[in-house]
A and B are shown apart, each in its own frame.
Chain A
Amino acid sequence: MPEEMTSTSEHELVKRCLEGDEQAFRELVERYKGLVFALVARSIADRARAEEVAQDVFLKVHRGLPYFRGEARLSTWIYRIVVNVLAAERRPMKTEPLEGRGDGPPREFGTTDRAFEDVALRDRMEKAMERLPVNYQVLINGHYLRGLRYEDLAEALNLPMGTVKTHLHRAKRQLRHLLETEFR
């Protein structure tokens, strides 16, 4: 998380929010807006829409707080809401089977000017990311976001840690396949 919270302060914050303390909810938004906005904005290119969706996440957090039982970390619970909101925002897109694709030789990176290759690759990567299924997208975005731990991802997705790593590898493989085929 951007700012680590102890479970006590987290519990305290939630308690204050439930008591109707507006300042407490403001504090909660301040603490988690970085994580929420980063995850959302990496999935939605339009900044104005991304902000609206990030606001929706916090509205859902506000509505859902009375049902937050404190079994998971608050950040994990919020992350789960982000995943659900993004999934609802974007109709899940199926990708074609990976097998039998990319018959031609894949493009090679790092053999010429790396900086130039990186700029070109970054552009293609962003486009390819949009084609990934939402759960893969959020998994990659979450994993590479500073402060979000494997444990958080595992808890939020309700998966064992090992499975999260496997899914992450699959997500990256699918991204690479898209780059090697449709976004060459």
Chain B
Amino acid sequence: MRCDDLDAIIEAIAEGQAPAGDYDAHLASCPRCQARVATAQALDRLLATRETPEPPAGFTYRVMERVGREQWRAEQLMDVGFNVAVAAGVALVVAGAVSLAWSLGWLTVDRPTLETVSTAIEPWVSTTLSKGPTVALAAVLLTTALGLWWWVEGEASL
């Protein structure tokens, strides 16, 4: 038997689990393999007596806090999804009803009415378009403010 052959069963020898074999003779005469067995035994002893790390105080509380936060976020997401779905549904129903009424001739808009509406909204549309960047910035700020409010509300309610 050579050192390399014995290396494969060093751990089993160290644990006293190696089947009886012809390694005894080699081991008795090989200081290198004896050292390997000694290392394996020392490792086994150290691994078995390693300190078990204990969870820090308040660990459970912090886990529950995160679980609660995650649940709240999931519920909020579901609420937003639900509201968007309802709004989209209502919009679809209204659009469908208007289209149906239009196609059946129940709903007619004469030219003077269209012109009146167009004249009424035209200044507002042109003003808004001319102030495009300002309006966009205001929209971003409003969205950010709403987002922050939503987040703070969430943190405070946990």
- Which A residues are closer than 8 A to B by beta carbons? 22, 25-26, 29-30, 33-34, 36-38, 41-42, 47, 50-51, 54-55, 58-59, 62-63, 99, 105-111, 117-118, 121-122, 125, 140, 144-146, 169, 172-173, 175-176, 179-180
Contact = CB atoms under 8 A, between A and B. Distances in A.
Contacts of B62: 51, 55
B27 interface: no
Interface residues of B, number: 36
A172 B59 contact: no
Contact of A34 (B32, B35, B45, B55): B55
A134 to B, nearest CB: 17
B99 interface: no
Interface of B: 4, 7-8, 10-12, 31-32, 34-36, 38-48, 50, 52-56, 59-60, 62-64, 66-67, 70
Given A34-B55, A54-B55, A105-B32, A25 B43 contact: no
| Main SS at interface, chain A | helix
B53 A37 contact: yes
B70 to A, nearest CB: 6
Nearest to A98: B7
B53 A42 contact: yes
A63 B71 CA distance: 10
A121 B38 CA distance: 12
Given A38-B52, A176-B10, A59 B42 contact: no
